[in-house]
Structure 1
Amino acid sequence: MADGEEDMDEYEEEDNDSLARHDLCMVIEKTEGKARCAAIAIYHKGNTYGHLFKTSLVGKPVVVSMDMEFNRFVFRNNDKLWYPDAMNSIFGKKIISECYGSIHKYIRSLGVPLYAPKNLKEAFLSEMESIITESLRTWAANPNMEVKEAMTNMLFRITIKKVIGFESDSPSTKELRKKFELFFQGAVSFPIYVPGIKFYQSMQARKYVQKVLKDLLKQRISTPQNRYGDFLDIVVEELQSEEALVDENFMVDLVCGLIFACIALTPTTLTIGMKFITDSPNVVEALTEEHDAILKKREVVNSRITWEEFKYMKFTNQVINEMVRVSSHGPGIFR
């Protein structure tokens, strides 16, 4: 191999190394609680032992890889998921660790109608605008706010409405929000079922959420003629079909996991995006100009946003894509 080629290989290896460490540093900056502690520990171990080393996570032996090429190889050749025992217990093993291959495709097929363009145009866009507008008014009335918590609450209200049809300001929604917060706290913990332990509290929250969802599902199944335009409509239709591949327990865990997934990752992205936008006045100016141009074309200024207006937001879409690109949701991916 020529000297120039060797130098290029060394450069690429160093570049991959810096990217991996940069991504982990970004995770440390953006996460909190046990996820942050785990990311910091992995970063220090990586400095000591290199890109590939053995350690333990909540009592389970694991191999940590920060090598980009090796990670790419694993993702291409192994689609089997592994998660800590606590996460399997809280969310259901079939939904977490065994959700790959045909099962994963099946779950994706269930969710497609919910976010299909027709559904987005007719209902979801308007529903989302109402909740976001109300949230913005609430934030504006407060002297200060915790951005990530506010984003999580807003997204939970949007998600709970679209998934199970609960009104965003109902007492049931507020109680479910508290229970899902306990899911966060116990997801990466030692699976010790003792009162006072985070895992115990998370499992109690799981029992509550499952009961609420099962009762709601039974009510929907008993009145299949009623349609609410949410994900539970799709679930009921699937369970009543002659070719149903799953049972009620699976669907309850699926709904629970879907709600959690919507509020576990997106708030972080939005929080990071708000920080970047705040630090970039030129971006704020461009966004304002684009939105003002849309408002000037309206016959009624205070009317609801339309699908055509949404498609016109070219720069807004670029900002959203950039927010997704630069954000890292978690300290790692399990395999």
Structure 2
Amino acid sequence: MAVISLYLVFFVVLPAIVLIAHWSSRCRRLRLPPGSLGLPFVGETLQLISAYKTENPEPFIDERVSRFGSLFTTHVFGEPTVFSVDPETNRFIMQNEGKLFECSYPGSISNLLGKHSLLLMKGSLHKRMHSLTMSFANSSIIRDHLLVDIDRLIRLNLDSWSDRVLLMEEAKKITFELTMKQLMSFDPCEWTESLRKEYVLVIEGFFSVPLPIFSPTYRRAIKARTKVAEALSLVVKQRRKESELGEKRKDMLAALVASDDHGSFSDEEIVDFLVALLVAGYETTSTSMTLAVKFLTETPLALAQITEEHEQIRAKKGEGEALEWSDYKSMAFTQCVVNETLRIANIIGGIFRRTMTDINVKGYTIPKGWKVFASFRGVHLDHEYFKDARTFNPWRWQNNSGAACPANVFTPFGGGQRLCPGYELARVELSVFLHHLVTRFSWTPAGEDKLVFFPTTRTQKRYPINVQRRDRVQTM
């Protein structure tokens, strides 16, 4: 027993003390952004999670900005981290991806998405995959190929609505089905619904402790991730056989399995890539749909104006006639609603990066290897950049009046090399959804519901609403 104790002292405790002393000494020599590292090991993680589990997470950032300024040091998720609520610094972080900063997320997210996901890719491979994704989600592709399916699948889902619906749940079904169609040409079926249920478990594990023995949530997420990967692997293998036989499809998976001058991707790379894209398409756009409806419901004048805009579009079309690109481009006030929804409840609250060297910014030094968090939400809710920043006001975007601020102030889709490749697609899906919702239904909230922001942005009760159909069911 004494030997074991000596071993622990000399080979574990003493090296740890020396390492901590060296690290502390180095930090004292540097001029770090002001702040507090909180409790040993835990840091301020509990305060962060506690704030984000409420409807009003801003105090975590607000209190520290008021004490330390828009650049402050904290300690969350096991690492010292510098938070930036400064748009210039955020832009500096995004523009120096791969030079001064590298992508870095909590281990739970990295493990569940897979090492080949677009979120975690770096260098030339990331550029290649990002470009490929953009090529399947640009305006011309949406206009010529995707819009017809977006319109059809949204109407198909709304046809089943009656009486009371859980809006967030319905929105997630819609966005998952749309993403499956766009990535792999699957129409809704029992298999896609089964896959979606596994995705729910995967996403629940994103901000859990990445140790299966301590976290049942993470353990369930890992099992679900394995099932998802196995299901997608079978699809990839089948698609490779079809490709070898000369069968061609025009979707993302077809492009991934096809060989090119740079060589083809492995099955593992394709599966990880699809996992991440399905998460992105499923979670973020569905939340935006739900929150847009919540904000419109709470702002009757905005709901009346957007309804009038869409009734005018509908009046020009025959019964059951699909929306066209020109219809989408005429939705001026709808885009104001989309902008304001993304601003006031940014689904992606910010981005984590890790410094690749000591970084000098705003008169401070961020040490090499530290995490930084560029907070988009903190900037979007800053009264310095948006008047009455925490009030839903879509009219601020009319005549571009709300967009008069620098581009780095409004960043709902990130920026730099990692600008969300599906930003236009998300706008189209949300706009088409709002069109069919406001022209086909009236609704009232079925009780109170609150926003929470951890582990993801959502409503506590999935926003239940009582719906009443305004027209006869459209034939498909």
Q: Same fold (TM over 0.5)?
A: yes
SS at match of 1:65: strand
- SS of residue in 2 equivalent to 1:315: helix
What is the match of residue 81 of structure 1?
103
Partner of 1:7: none
Is 1:317 equivalent to 2:335 in the alignment? yes
Q: Which amino acid aligns with 1:193?
A: P
Query: Cα distance, 1:297 vs. partner?
Result: 2.7
The aligned residue for residue 305 of structure 1 is 323
Task: Give the deviation of 1:142 after TM superposition.
Answer: 2.8
The CA deviation string for residues 14-73 of structure 1, in whole angstroms up to 9 with x for no partner, is xxxxxxxxxxxxxxxxxx99953795794487379745233231xx21314144155444
Separation in 2 of the partners of 1:268 and 1:64?
A: 28
* Alpha-carbon distance, 1:219 to partner: 0.7
Q: Which residue type is aligned with residue 177 of structure 2?
A: R
Give, in angstroms, the shift of residue 310 of structure 1. Answer: 2.2
Task: Answer whether contact 1:80 1:97 (CA < 8 A) is retained.
Answer: no
8 Å contact 1:291–1:313 — kept in the other structure?
Answer: yes
Gapped runs of 5+ residues in structure 2? 1-48, 354-476
Among 107, 113, 138, the residue aligned to 2:135:
113
Per-residue displacement from partner, 1:117-176 (whole Å, max 9, x unpaired)?
34323331121112211222333x032x332222222111111121122222x1111111
| Compared CA separation, residues 210 and 34, structure 1 to 2 (3 A) | farther
Identify the match of residue 53 of structure 2 among 25, 31, 36. 36
Residue 205 of structure 2 is aligned to residue 186 of structure 1: yes
Amino acid at match of 2:129: I
Residue in structure 2 matched with residue 236 of structure 1 by the alignment: 257
Gaps of 5+ in 1: 1-31
SS of equivalent to 2:103: coil
Structure 1 residue 295: Cα displacement: 2.9
Larger radius of gyration: 2
Partner of 2:163: 142
CA 1:62–1:332: 2 relative to 1, 3 Å: farther
Tell me how far apart the structure 1 counterparts of residues 308 and 58 of structure 2 sit (CA, whole Å): 41
2:317 maps to 1:295:
no
Assess if the C-alpha contact under 8 Å between 1:88 and 1:96 holds in 2: no
Shifted more, 219-228 versus 118-127: the winner is: 118-127
1:59-208 mapped onto 2 (5 Å cutoff): 60-68=78-86, 70-77=89-96, 78-95=100-117, 98-139=120-161, 141-143=162-164, 145-168=165-188, 170-194=189-213, 197-208=216-227
More strand by share: 2
**Which segment is superposed worse, 226-235 or 210-219?**
226-235
Could you say which structure has the higher helix fraction? 1
SS at match of 2:205: helix
| Sequence identity percentage | 25
Whether the aligned pair in 2 keeps the contact of 1:269 and 1:323 (CA below 8 Å) is: yes
Q: Which of residues 227, 249, 252 in structure 1 aligns to 2:268? A: 249
- CA distance, structure 2, for counterparts of residue 260 and residue 246 of structure 1: 20
Change (3 A) 1:42 1:291: closer
Q: Number of residues paired by the alignment?
A: 296
2:18 counterpart residue number: none
C-alpha RMSD of matched pairs (Å): 2.9
Distance in 2, Cα, partners of 1:84 & 1:96:
15
Amino acid at match of 1:162: Q
Aligned partners of 1:84 and 1:188 also within 8 Å:
yes
